[in-house]
Amino acid sequence: MTSEPHVGLTGLATMGANLARNLAHHAIPVAVHNRTFSRTEKFIADYGSEGPLSAYESTADWVSALSRPRLLISMVQAGAPTDAVIEEIIPHLDPGDILIDGGNANFRDTQRRHRSVAQHGVHFLGAGVSGGEEGALNGPSIMPGGDRDPYERAVRPVFEAIAAQVDGTPCCTYVGPDGAGHYVKMVHNGIEYADMQLIAESYDLLRHGAGLEVPEIAACFEQWNQSELESFLIEISARVLAKTDEASGQPLVDVILDAAEQKGTGRWTAQNALELGVPLTGITEAVFARTLSALKSERVAAAGRLAGPAPGTSRGDETLVDDLGHALYASKIVSYAQGFAQMAAASQAEGWGLDLGAMATIWRGGCIIRARFLDRIREAYGADPALANLMLAEFFAQALERAQDPWRRVVAKAAEMGIPAPAFSSSLAYYDGYRRARGPASLIQGLRDLFGAHTYRRIDREGAFHISWSGDGAENEI
């Protein structure tokens, strides 16, 4: 590489700043830029000595400083700010240059931007970057999508250098055309929502069902992290639960307002599942649980009005503690099965040719949902790339079989105790619904035919049928 800046990065908030430092730590010369120059100045003052970093105030100077073809990364707020940045940069670029949006864009926006940027002869890549602040600095999981040739030629060596590595394999692979990278990042975030909701429900049941104290719950998560549940989110759950609030001396979790916020990727995942017709109950319940949590004042009022069992504090339900680990693992399998089924459906609908095993591979390190069992998902798709549902892979089918008795006990006890467990119970309902050769939808079809003449199909012969419900009662083939 020449000493000219090889990568231009704009957007020096948390993610961009750490990504720029990560690049510089790998001796990749980076020209940095930010809308507000004071942020650029502070960045250079704080980190300029860490590696080949140079700063530019104007977009024109920043772009012209780069070696050709140019490689530019935008790490700004998703939505309108990303459009504003693209609009600002494009007039300064030449055909053949490569512009990468590393923010959390909606994949439909990425598809649109890909088309419009291509009109200028510029290659556009939408790359999902996961791992938060720490990942961006020390090795994220990167999900790049867009034009493959420029990716392989110019971007791959850079991304593979800065990505997390697991067993010598970088947590980065070309995902697919146009919006595929941002799509996979969206589903990754959706799965993260479901994982976090399952963790929150486990905490609630350990505390108010089994009567454990917060430090004991922290210890329980630590123990789970030594098991098949080993994952980053379980590990940090133990850390958050072990933290004491210095001002009050109480567990920090007791002084944090119980209203979860969200930035939209979980909602997008659920919306897209509805559009595709993919049952995505775990992630969707997790989004709804956050919205319900945000209705704090309504909940406080309802707590004094609506009847039901009060959350318990009595100790001693050892079975529940033990059962929860199994229920958590089984429900987690279901939410990943649903997320992977959604990616398969999107790949089919968009013609992306997603390699699902490769997605599991690049999520093994760097990202927020990194977990031991992603290796098993990788193996499952390696053995059968056309696997209809992850739950059908031998390893997972057996794990679900082993977990199902405790899983059912947890869901039943939660309902009896009045402790909401939407992710646990919807996962179990999905599992039971999926393994049901014949379900009750025949009645729904009958009802639809009665009130709307929507017709139904029969199990014994082809065709669409309608009953003359208000006439002679005869069945007619339509």
Q: List residues binding ligand NAP (CB under 6 A).
A: 11-16, 34-36, 39, 75-78, 81, 84-85, 103-104, 129-130, 132
Least distance from C-beta 280 to ligand NAP, angstroms? Answer: 21
- Residue 263 annotated as catalytic: no
CB of 187 to ligand NAP, least distance (A): 14
Report residue 30: phi and psi, to 5°.
Answer: -120, 130
Give the chain's end-to-end CA distance (angstroms, integer).
Answer: 70
- Residue 258 CB, shortest distance to ligand NAP, in Å, is 22
**Closer to ligand NAP by Cβ: residue 12 or 421:** 12
Handedness of CA 186, 188, 194, 199 (dihedral sign): negative
Taking the least distance from each CB to ligand NAP, the nearer of 35 and 372 is: 35
Q: Which one, 110 or 281, has the nearer CB to ligand NAP? A: 110
- Smallest distance, Å, CB 14 to ligand NAP? 4
| Burial (0-12, 13-18, 19+ Cβ within 10 Å), 30 | buried
Q: Which residue is nearest to ligand NAP (CB)?
A: 103
CB of 282 to ligand NAP, least distance (A): 21
Q: Which is nearer to ligand NAP, 143 or 210 (CB)?
A: 143
Nearer Cβ to ligand NAP, position 35 or 156? 35
Question: Of the residues 42, 192, 230, 379, which is catalytic?
Answer: 192
Rounded CA separation 285/7 (Å): 40
Question: CB-wise, 11 or 29, nearer to ligand NAP?
Answer: 11
391: nearest Cα among 341, 328, 325, 347: 341
Q: Which member of 160, 185, 201, 379 is catalytic?
A: 185
Q: Active-site residue 261, yes or no?
A: no
Tokens of 68: 């050709």
Q: How far is CA 141 from the centre of its chain?
A: 12
Distance CA 166, CA 409 (A): 37
Q: How far is the CB of 191 from ligand NAP (least distance, A)?
A: 14
Kindly tell me which of 5 and 16 has the beta carbon lying closer to ligand NAP.
16
**Amino acid at residue number 478:** I
The set of catalytic residues is 185, 192
